[in-house]
């Protein structure tokens, strides 16, 4: 970790570098970058307040990685797995252009609350994505829809150097590399596991079911999945 800077300062510097990143993607694919988009001034204001509230220290944290941010969620807000309603409450900033409340965020808020609340959770964990910028593809009707980095082999190859670089840079914030949590126990976990074998980022990667999968298909077992998350996150304290 660079001890000259707090965890928050390093996150903000990282996000600033993402704002200048250019991509050459296969035809039909596009990056959604909140740090250089139409709402960038509001995004920067939101992220500065949020990260300085919870990460203004030099604590070591464990990394939790999703796949890529949703185009109407984290991909426009700039804070992984957060929604506009909660961010507005956390920062006191009125979010007037993309007030979206996601079921994935609701599930994670329940996990965070049962873990001990935002202060304790963010003191122990840092959330982001394997691909930290959103991706959309144009479908047959000409509409832009969400896309994950692993859904297309050509897209995956194009993003591979970016993914490796961003994971390395985030580890340097002050990440405990003994364990990484992967949100998404299918393709995201499979890719991250393969990537880890090639680059030895972490000693262990623990897969967790995606909140969207839980809320959409297994909502009646929500409490069981919350307990699974908590057991995984709390057991890491014993390592």
**What is the extent of the structural domain holding 118?**
7-238
Residue 199 located in a structural domain:
yes
Kindly write down the DSSP assignment for every residue of 115-136, as one continuous string. Answer: HT-HHHHHHHEEEEESS-SEEE
pLDDT at site 51: 96
Residue 79 located in a structural domain:
yes
Residue 2 located in a structural domain:
no
Please tell me whether the overall predicted TM-score, pTM, comes out greater than 0.85 for this model: yes
pLDDT at site 96: 64
pLDDT at site 239: 45
pLDDT at site 156: 95
Residue 53 located in a structural domain:
yes
Give, as one character, the DSSP assignment of residue 101. -
Please count the structural domains in the chain.
1
Residue 113 located in a structural domain:
yes
Segment 4-17, tens digit of pLDDT: 899 999 999 999 99
Residue 150 located in a structural domain:
yes
| Cβ atoms 205, 197 nearer than 8 A | no
Q: What backbone phi and psi angles, to 5 degrees, belong to 211?
A: -55, -35
Residues 6+ apart with CB under 8 A from 236: 62, 178, 179, 206
Q: State the CATH number of the domain containing residue 92.
A: 3.40.470.10
pLDDT at site 86: 80
Residue 214 located in a structural domain:
yes
pLDDT at site 103: 63
Q: Which segments of the chain have a pLDDT < 50?
A: 238-239
For residue 208 the two structure tokens come to 């967790």
Residue 137 located in a structural domain:
yes
């Amino acid at each position: 970790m660079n001890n000259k800077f707090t965890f928050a300062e390093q996150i903000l510097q990282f996000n600033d570098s993402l704002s200048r990143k250019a991509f050459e993607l296969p035809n039909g694919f596009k990056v959604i970058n909140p740090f250089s988009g139409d709402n960038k001034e509001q995004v920067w204001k939101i992220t500065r307040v949020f990260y300085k509230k919870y990460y203004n220290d030099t604590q070591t944290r464990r990394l939790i990685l999703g796949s890529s941010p949703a185009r109407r969620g984290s991909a426009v807000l700039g804070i992984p797995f957060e929604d506009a309603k909660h961010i507005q409450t956390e920062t006191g900033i009125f979010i007037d252009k993309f007030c979206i409340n996601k079921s994935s965020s609701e599930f994670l808020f329940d996990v965070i609350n049962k873990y001990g609340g935002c202060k304790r959770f963010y003191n122990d964990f840092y959330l982001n994505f394997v691909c930290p910028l959103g991706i959309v593809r144009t479908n047959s009707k000409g509409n832009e829809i969400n896309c994950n980095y692993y859904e297309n082999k050509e897209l995956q190859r194009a993003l591979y150097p970016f993914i490796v670089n961003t994971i390395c840079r985030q580890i340097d914030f002050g990440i405990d590399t003994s364990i990484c949590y992967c949100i998404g126990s299918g393709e995201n976990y499979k890719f991250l596991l393969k990537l880890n074998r090639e680059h030895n980022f972490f000693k262990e990667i623990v897969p967790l079911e995606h909140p969207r999968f839980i809320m959409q298909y297994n909502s009646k077992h929500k409490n069981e999945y919350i307990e699974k998350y908590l057991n995984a996150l709390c057991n890491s304290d014993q390592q």
